[in-house]
Amino acid sequence: MRDLTKSFFSFSWTMSLLGLEQLTNLLSEERSGDRRKRMAKTFDAVTEATVDQLGKRTSSLYESGDRLQRETVDLMFDLSRPEELKPRKVVDRAADLVESTADALRDVAGDDKKKKKTTHKRTASRRKTTAEAST
């Protein structure tokens, strides 16, 4: 139990220091794309090492949540561009995010067949509606 406790605290301390180091890197004078790539590579390496330690169910949960958060970040950055602020695009992107959230919840519940069928129907319907609105 003692070794487990030490390992737990070492892990927590290391993650705190990694976060501090990356924050320092982010605030540093260097403004190159290389710095951002190095930071992303560091986070990706730690993430990959951690995911490798997850069980099958937890790994599936991670993948669903990661996909959802990545789509959310994409949406936030996309909406910062003026051409993306057209009402139809905003509604479509919001619907995509809601759909992704539902898919992630289905993944966690293990309902893959229903997810694929429902997602395909919604996406096809939304594309049809968007195409009709464009003409």
Coil/strand/helix, residue 95: helix
Separation of alpha carbons 40 and 76, rounded Å: 18
Residues near 73 by beta carbon (within 8 Å), at least 6 away in sequence: none
Tell if the pTM clears 0.75, that is, is over it: no
What pLDDT is stored for residue 27 in this prediction? 81
Residue 5, CA atoms < 13 Å, CB-side half-sphere? 2
Six-digit token string for 16: 């705190």
Q: What kind and span of H or E run contains 19?
A: helix 2-27
What are the pLDDT tens digits along the chain (135 aa)? 989 999 999 999 999 999 999 888 888 766 667 788 888 899 999 999 999 999 988 888 888 889 888 888 888 888 788 777 777 877 887 788 788 778 777 877 776 555 555 555 555 555 555 455 444
What pLDDT is stored for residue 103 in this prediction? 79
* C-alpha distances in Å from residue 45, one per residue of 9, 18, 32, 134: 20, 12, 20, 43
